[in-house]
Each structure stands twice: as C-alpha cells, then as structure tokens.
Amino acid sequence: MNKMAVRVPFVDLKLQHEPIQMQLQYAIQSVLEQGDFILGQALSDFEAAFAAVSEAAYGVGVASGTDAIALGLQACNIGAGDEVILPANTFIATLIGVIRAGAKPILVDCDRQTALIDLEAAAKAITPQTKAIIPVHLYGQMVSPRELIKFADTYKLLIFEDAAQAHLAQRDGYHAGSVGIAAAFSFYPSKNLGAFGDGGMLLTRNSDVAQKMGRLRNYGASQKYFHTEPGTNSRLDTLQAAILHQKLPYLPQWNRDRLTIAQQYDLELAPLATTGIIPIENQSDTGHVYHLYVIKVDDSCPIERQQLQEKLTAVGIQTGIHYPIPCHLQPAFSNLGYQPGDFPQAEKLSQQILSLPMYPGLSSSQVKEVVAAIAHAVSTTSKVDETSNADLDSVVA
C-alpha cells in the first residue's frame, strides 16, 4: 500500500533557500577562499550582527544550542551547589544544559494557556540555594520580561534566557536575548534562523561573561596554548556563521510571514473552539515569532490528539508534537526524583498539544486545507474509549 503523498509538509526549507541561493553560495565560496574555517572573520562578523539586532552587547558562537546553555551557565558562574529553576515543559536540552553546568535543576509547572513557565509555581520552588531561573521562550513567544525582571529582583536571581525558538521575538519592549544576564540561541536548521547543520550562540550584555564564554568554547584558552580553565571544543564553524549572516537580513520578513500565517490559523480555527480545538494563547501580539503554531486538542474535543494526527497524516498533512513527554518523566532523569502528577499542567499539555505546519512560504490555501482537514476529522470521529493519560502511563510504567 502506497503512503499518502505529502500535501502540506511540516517544514519546507527549500522555500527559504531557493530565492537566496546565490548569496548562500557566495558566502560559502568566500570562506573557502579565505580558509579561516575555525574562529574566522565571518564568525566575528555574524556574532556582532546577531547581537546588535537582538539588542545585546556581545555574541559568542558555539557548536549547538545545548552548549550555549551549558557553557553559558558556567560563564555566568553557575555550577555545583547552585539550583536553577526551569519549566518541565521544554525540550530536554534545557535540562541537560543545567546538569552539564554542574548545577541542580529544579523543575516547575507551566501555564496551561501559553505553555510558558508558571512564575507563581517558580516562586514556591525557591530555596537559599536558588541562583538562577531559565525562562524558556517557547514556540516563539517570550515569557513576559516585565514579570521576569520583577521576579528576579524580588528573589535576587539571575535570568538566563533559553531563546532557542525565539529569534527576534519581542515583548514588553524587550528583544529575546536582552532581558537577562545571558541568553542561549540555537541555529538548528528548522529554527527561524537556521544553519546548514548544528550551531548556537550565547548573547550577553556582560563583558566578563562574554570573555569567559569565549575561553570555555575554545579549550579554556585565553590565548593559544595558554589555558586558564577547563573548557571544551564548541565553536560555531566559520562556514555556518557565513551562511547565517547571509540569512539574517531576511529574518524579520520571515518572522512577519510566520505571524501572518498564525493570524490566518487563528481566524480559520476560531469556529472550532466550541469543539475543543484551542490554539496556544498569544500574549505578545506581533512580538510572537511563531517558530511553531501549536493547538490543544482539549478534553471536550470528540477526537483524541493521536487520532487527529493520524487522520491528518492520512490526507498528506504533516504535524509534530512539542513535546510528548515532559522533562520530569524522561527515563534518563528518573534520578531527579520526580513522579507522574508532580506537574499536572505540563503533563496534560503533553497529551493534548499538536504542532501544525508553519514556515515562511506556507500558502493561504494550504492553511485552509489544514484547518478543513481538522474540521472534517473532528466532525466525523468519535473519541476512542481510553483514559487521557494512557499514552503517558505506558511511557513511565
């Protein structure tokens, strides 16, 4: 039996790259001719440019977004004996970064409407050992900087932003990457600003943090063969930096395209709200950059999330789930001592969220097709007789 041809892909990078193919080829050729493949001029240029558009003072390119978190926390002098608060509803890299820095991760629940960290829950988790909070700017929407700064001032904490999904996002007059002492970004290919492989960057307004980060990514060396601390090898390749720099001027328009697509989704999906199809709430107006467009398949919906995803796949519409298992229930981190039920909002969302196709170039007719397929699935399917936590129970049993 032949698989259904993909009619609406989840992501289509060709639509971004084909119009600027000549510029990308020029960037690659320039690095080839220059020959400075490691810590070259194109890297320095891109670090400065990305920091500037994000309203940060310094940028330090590294090999991945995970390294940007792990090394970035170390550069902020966060490590053994320190507790760091972060949401259970995030990609596992946030948690791994805290552990790699040597600190103790303290997970908290999220807000059900936005899927962002619940600061009231975070306040209850603070101890004398708490040193920092990592607000994850999830799906392209920032945690409120105004509320974050008030929170950090109240409890004397550092703000370390996880902005891996929030390139050029804005809220409360701030850009992602300009709120805390430092911020980690990812340039994974499908990000709003993506490389042709892995890559990441730390942004900071603190010169000491930037200098230490520069040493940590390069074997802890302040100069060649002179190592002042135990660092590692994590450098954003000059070639990737050159590609990213060529793409950077297009990022504002790509983000505007994502917003337009999200606004159409909002409009088209509105009639389905009474059937339990609820988009994750945007509290940032035009500052949301929609790395992902995520809906909730609520308990009131006549179809389960898995059924809906299968029916969309059957008609050639690709979707994703970000993320199907919260951090505290991942088998690799059972030693942290968390149990099912500890973070009910994150757990509930993990069973209900569904990411719809979202990328610059997604057409209006494709958005209509996606929504029409959802409406058809909802109107023609009865919910299977199973508990809402069956999938989660099978994972953690």
pLDDT computed for residue 389 by the predictor: 45
Helix (H, G, I), strand (E, B) or coil at 112: coil
List Cα–Cα distances, 363 to 44, 132, 264, 290, 349, in angstroms: 36, 42, 10, 16, 28
Rounded Cα gap, residues 276 and 297, in angstroms: 6
CATH number for the region 14-250 comes to 3.40.640.10
Catalytic residue among 104, 131, 191, 212: 191
pLDDT computed for residue 395 by the predictor: 43
DSSP state at residue 114 = T
- Are 7 and 316 in contact, with CB atoms under 8 Å apart? yes
Rounded Cα gap, residues 71 and 210, in angstroms: 11
pTM, full prediction: 0.95
Task: State the 10-residue block means of pLDDT for the chain, 397 residues long.
Answer: 79 97 97 97 98 98 98 98 98 98 98 98 98 98 98 98 98 98 98 98 98 98 94 98 98 98 98 98 98 98 97 98 98 98 98 98 98 97 53 44
* Known active-site residue 212: no
Question: Which residue ranges make up each domain of the chain?
Answer: 14-250, 251-396
Amino acid code (one letter) for 303: I
List Cα–Cα distances, 390 to 300, 352, 384, in angstroms: 17, 12, 12
303: left (phi over 0), alpha (psi -120 to 50) or beta: beta
pLDDT computed for residue 385 by the predictor: 43
Q: Any residues with CB less than 8 A from the CB of 355 and at least 6 apart, and which?
A: 10, 292, 293, 294, 319, 320, 321, 322
pLDDT computed for residue 383 by the predictor: 63
Q: Which CATH number fits domain 251-396: 3.30.420.10, 3.90.1150.10, 3.40.1030.10, 3.40.50.720?
A: 3.90.1150.10
Task: Return the exposure string of 61-93: e unless at least 16 CB atoms fall within 10 Å of the residue's CB, then b.
Answer: bbbbbbbbbbbbbbbbebeeebbbbbbbbbbeb
DSSP state at residue 75 = H
